């Protein structure tokens, strides 16, 4: 079990349980017997990531809810399976006015298109910046021009898809180990190769970080603008994450691979599915926590990346509620 950033990761089979006003984790050995019990200080946790087979009962879940603690569940193959978010009097109070304004913005075709374009612009410019700072040529102008000319969400999504296809191909000039991590095509559910498995896992982590920060604001995570809130129960975090995946996730991938912190040996195949080793997950999570707790300067403030994400959500809220112009966070700006 790893801990940092008020976030706990459970990587071993066991049982998560409440005892009095404490949270305990019983780690099991291979025979299913308790080999170690650890106390998780309830006042030092904001969220828990469960990446192993863990038993938990309703009594413990109610205790977590009362203490405003989120749970994120992953399958044995490290694919995301769902969240538990507390809905208690201790949660952030959600404003009826903000909810109505968010729904109105979604239902207003011009407003929704405006927000969707801004989010996609952030993704394009931040991805392009990643290439330029590594001396890899990449022309953002065709995508920004097409984005400006888009007249529907479908057209915005088409621009995004076209950009991602070219942007991922540029990765082959950034990532040194082309034998094991050459990018060919983006695949999900399940990823067909190591680079796609790494992208999927880190993107999912960013989605959940963004979701956690949205929950600390008055915006409703169910109502997105770029991603359709159809069969998904939540979509706003997918929107906001498009800005930060290039900044946090992609840069993390480049660093992990080019420093050989993650290599071909960090993966193994089980029943035809690609999995990370436990040590690889620890390496990724340590690097992710270091990134999220890193402070950057914005004006007179020094903020962690989590705080920057929450700041971005609140900027979007002001756009929706107070009709302020909305410009996405760009890593090329002076920080």
pLDDT attached to residue 278: 85
pLDDT attached to residue 51: 81
Could you read off the pLDDT of 79-134 as tens digits, one per residue? Answer: 777 778 776 544 455 678 999 999 999 999 999 999 999 999 999 999 999 999 99
Are 100 and 198 found together in one domain? yes
- Report if residue 328 sits inside a domain: no
Are 116 and 66 found together in one domain? no
Could you read off the pLDDT of 273-308 as tens digits, one per residue? Answer: 888 888 998 899 889 888 988 889 888 889 999 999
Are 130 and 57 found together in one domain? no
Are 253 and 181 found together in one domain? yes
pLDDT attached to residue 188: 82
- Distance in angstroms (rounded) separating the CA atoms of residues 1 and 49: 10
Q: Band of the pLDDT at 2, cuts 50, 70, 90?
A: very low
CATH number of the domain at 288, please.
1.20.120.920
pLDDT attached to residue 76: 65
- Report if residue 327 sits inside a domain: no
DSSP notation for 154-218 = HHHHHHHHHHHHHHHHHGGGT-S-HHHH-------SS-SSHHHHHHHHHHHHHHHHHHHHHTTSS
Are 144 and 275 found together in one domain? yes
What values do phi and psi take at 4, rounded to 5?
Answer: 180, 165
pLDDT attached to residue 230: 62
Are 150 and 74 found together in one domain? no
Are 39 and 186 found together in one domain? no
- Report if residue 251 sits inside a domain: yes
pLDDT attached to residue 101: 95
Highest mean pLDDT among 58-72, 159-173, 214-228: 159-173
**Could you tell me the residue range of the domain that residue 43 belongs to?**
2-84
pLDDT attached to residue 232: 58
**Minimal CA–CA distance to 212: which of 84, 62, 75, 317?**
84
């Amino acid at each position: 079990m790893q801990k940092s950033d008020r976030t706990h990761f459970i990587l071993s089979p066991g049982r998560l349980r409440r005892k009095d006003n404490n949270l305990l984790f019983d780690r099991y050995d291979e025979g299913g017997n308790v080999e170690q019990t650890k106390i998780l200080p309830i006042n030092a946790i904001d969220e828990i990531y469960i990446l192993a087979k863990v038993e938990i009962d309703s009594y413990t879940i109610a205790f977590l809810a009362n203490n405003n603690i989120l749970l994120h569940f992953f399958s044995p193959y490290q694919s995301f399976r769902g969240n538990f978010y507390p809905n208690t009097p201790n949660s952030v109070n959600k404003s009826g006015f903000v909810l109505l304004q968010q729904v109105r913005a979604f239902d207003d075709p011009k407003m929704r298109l405006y927000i969707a374009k801004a989010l996609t612009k952030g993704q394009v410019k931040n991805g392009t910046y990643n290439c330029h700072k590594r001396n890899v040529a990449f022309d953002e102008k065709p995508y920004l021009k097409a984005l400006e000319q888009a007249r529907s969400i479908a057209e915005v999504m088409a621009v995004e898809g076209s950009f991602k296809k070219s942007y991922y191909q540029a990765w082959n000039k950034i990532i040194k180990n082309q034998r094991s991590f050459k990018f060919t095509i983006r695949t999900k559910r399940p990823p067909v190769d190591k680079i796609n498995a790494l992208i999927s896992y880190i993107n999912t982590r960013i989605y959940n970080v963004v979701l956690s920060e949205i929950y600390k604001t008055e915006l409703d995570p169910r109502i997105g603008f770029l991603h359709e809130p159809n069969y998904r129960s939540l979509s706003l975090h997918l929107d906001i994450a498009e800005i930060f995946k290039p900044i946090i996730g992609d840069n993390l991938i480049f660093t992990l691979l080019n420093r050989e912190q993650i290599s071909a040996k960090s993966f193994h195949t089980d029943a035809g599915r690609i999995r990370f080793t436990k040590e690889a997950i620890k390496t990724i999570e340590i690097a992710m926590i270091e990134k999220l707790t890193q402070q950057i300067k914005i004006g007179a403030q020094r903020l962690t990346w989590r705080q920057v994400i929450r700041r971005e959500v609140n900027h979007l809220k002001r756009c929706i509620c107070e009709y302020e112009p909305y410009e996405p966070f760009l890593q090329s700006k002076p920080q």
